[in-house]
Homo-oligomer: A and B are copies of this chain.
Amino acid sequence: MGDGRLSPPERAVTARVARLATVDASGSPHLVPIVFAIREDRIVTPIDHKPKRSMRLRRLDNVAAEPRVAVLFDSYDEDWSRLWWVRADGMATVLAFGGPGHAAAAELLADRYEQYRDHPITGPIIEIAVTRWASWAGA
C-alpha cells in the first residue's frame, strides 16, 4: 500500500465516517457511526443530525458515567491485503454549545463536512483526548 507510512491519525483522517464505542452505566457496550475531525491527539464529533432525543442523551449519559471510549476508523476492500484499521482509545468530555472549545471544534468539523457550513453545529460536541493509537494494515 502506498500510504503505509502514514501515522495512525494521518490514516484515520482519510476516512469520512468512524464508529464510536461507549459503555453504559450497566457495563454494556453501545456503538454509533460518527462524523469526526482530528487535531493532534483530539477527536471531535458532534451530537446532532440524530433522529431521536433519546439517542443523543444516551451517548451523553454514557460518556458522563464512563469517559473511556474507543473510536475505530477502517477501510474495507474485497482484496483483503488492502484492509486497514486504526483504533483510538481515549477519554471523552462534552463541549457545550457556547462553552469553551465548542466554536473551534465546530470549525474543524465544518472544514471537513460542507453540510455544517449551511447548518452550523448548535448541539454538544464530544471531544476525545486520545490516550493510545493502535493500527493494523493488511500484508
Contacts and interface: CB of A to CB of B under 8 A. Distances in A.
B27 A72 contact: no
A29 B55 CA distance: 19
Those 5 A-B pairs whose CB atoms lie nearest each other, nearest first: A21-B29, A17-B76, A21-B21, A31-B72, A31-B70
Interface residues of A, number: 33
Contact of A17 (B30, B51, B74): B74
A51 B136 contact: yes
- One complex includes copies of this chain to the number of 2
Contact of A32 (B17, B49, B50, B72): B72
Interface of A: 16-17, 19, 21-23, 27-33, 49-51, 55, 66, 68-72, 74, 76, 78, 80, 83, 85, 87, 89, 115, 136
Contacts of A29: 21-23, 29, 68-70
Main secondary structure of the interface of A (DSSP, over half): strand
Contact of A19 (B72, B78, B89): B72
B136 A27 contact: no
Contact of A30 (B16, B21, B51): B21
A40 to B, nearest CB: 21
